[in-house]
Amino acid sequence: MPDPIFEKKNVLVTGGAGFIGSHLCERLLRDGHRVICVDNFSTGHERNIEALLSNPDFQFLRADVTQPLDLESFAELAAFKIPFQGVQEIYHLACPMSIAGFDQFRMQTLLANALGMYVPLEIARRYRARVVFTSSSVVYGPRRADDPFVEETQFGAVDQLSPRACYDEGKRFAETMCATYRQVHRLDVRIARVFRTYGPRLPLFDGQLIPDFVLNAMENKDLVIYGNGELRTSLVYVDDVVDGLVRLMAAPQAPDVVNFGHDAEVNISDVAREVIALVGSSSKIVAGADLLFLSELPAPRIGRAKDLGWLPLVRLEDGLRKTVEYVRENKLLLTMG
């Protein structure tokens, strides 16, 4: 029996008020879907979705995805007709992501990668929804000196007892949950391994290099490069990541796991110099102490993503310009927290 066709899909986005999640919600609404955004504002923010709240096809639920979530019990979802239509797609992004505040969110991160994965998978099982889980490049483990690039078939190795294991090993365990639900319950679950992403709405004062570069450059303050100043990384613009997630969800047949990131690395010092030039700043670049969660990670091979018709299209200079514009326009709000 074929699946019923509805005028608009009901799409659940967990972590929808976060950096990537809010851009994804906007894209899904433009594509003509009804969007249920779930977030508890641990590291997301209401301002990220403020412009969406008046849209009748958008509904925000302030909820913790580590707790049971019965969508049919929310009166505000009446227009979505959940008991009749259910949910067709689930994008699961909910997980605290704070570099500077990593210690503060360790327990929440641990639970988000365990119970917070279980809850959306159970919703998917109830409604036979397709799932895209946003995992991370950290599952590959440390960058290898002999080959900095990784592809989806490679196994990673992380220290499951390290201070950051609640995120690194947590993402690996969440992937295991996805695979097990796929095998046992025949759910259509797809895993997106997302590499370092930048763009508007990245939080300030959080160890996220690019927005902090921009703000400090605007104030002619030093731009701090952590580590030895030679950190190399893959940087992909947020709109490109969102396009990848949507393509992965839409593909009739898709690989279980797909890398989404830029396959051309950049040196963070070069990025800092580009920001200084864009802002027209007199800032200097200085070295700073290492941050636990800011490490040199592998870069992606993106053959599977290309097979989905995906490429990172936004040039670094264009993405940085858009990020600079966003910080300029929202500097007062952003610095007020």
Active site residues: 167
244 close to 207: Cβ distance less than 8 angstroms:
no
Q: Tell me the three-class secondary structure of 146-184, residue by residue.
A: CCCEECCCCCCCCCCCCCCHHHHHHHHHHHHHHHHHHHH
Residue 305 to residue 127: CA distance in whole angstroms: 27
Tokens standing for 117?
């994965």
Give one word for 284, left, alpha or beta, with left for phi > 0 and alpha for psi -120 to 50. Answer: beta
Residue 297 to residue 150: CA distance in whole angstroms: 10
96 close to 139: Cβ distance less than 8 angstroms:
no
Residue 195 to residue 177: CA distance in whole angstroms: 21
Residue 49 Cα to chain centre, angstroms? 15
- Would you report the helix, strand and coil content of the chain in percent, each value rounded to 5? 40, 20, 40
283 close to 269: Cβ distance less than 8 angstroms:
no
245 close to 134: Cβ distance less than 8 angstroms:
yes
29 close to 4: Cβ distance less than 8 angstroms:
no
Alpha helix locations (H) across 3-114?
19-30, 82-85, 106-112
Beta-ladder partners of 149: 299
74 close to 47: Cβ distance less than 8 angstroms:
no
Q: Residue 191 phi/psi, 5° resolution? A: -115, 125
283 close to 133: Cβ distance less than 8 angstroms:
no
